[in-house]
Amino acid sequence: MSNAHVNRACRILVVDDNVDAADTLVLLLKSLGFQAWATYDGSEAVLLAEFIQPNLVILDIQMPGMDGFETAACIRGTEVGERSYLVALTGSEADLDPVLATCMGFDRFITKPVSSRKLAELARAATR
């Protein structure tokens, strides 16, 4: 499968309470040819996921209110969540409990910053 095909086919939702970080990641994704959207709140992410039907959801773990774990569990509880590839994003591996992340429905875990190469790899995994 070519990268161009993957890029057009993969819809990506970025969820991070750090507006600059989320927007920067979306700009990078769009520059790589992906369809990408950002939201900065877990509860809004659940609603937006239902609307855009993402293949890939990249969720920051450390968010106020509804954190990444709770957001992942809520998304997994929806029809779109059954089909989406969920990735936990954290600034430090120390913030991530891999067992909890797996139990809450995450498929992968990554740390910031995220490289273009890693994003393409995630998109390929999400569209298989």
| Residue 110 Cα distances to 9, 51, 55, angstroms | 22, 25, 17
Q: Which tokens is 57 given?
A: 């959801």
pTM, to two decimals: 0.90
- CB-hemisphere CA count at 13 Å for 100? 11
Interacting residues of 9 by C-beta distance below 8 A, sequence separation 6+? 55, 127
Q: Domain spans of the chain?
A: 3-126
Q: What is the pLDDT along the chain (128 residues), one digit of tens a residue?
A: 444 445 567 999 999 999 999 999 999 999 999 999 999 999 999 999 999 999 999 999 989 999 998 999 999 999 888 899 999 998 877 666 777 777 778 999 888 889 999 999 999 899 88
Q: Which tokens is 103 given?
A: 């139990």
Write out the CATH class of domain 3-126: alpha beta
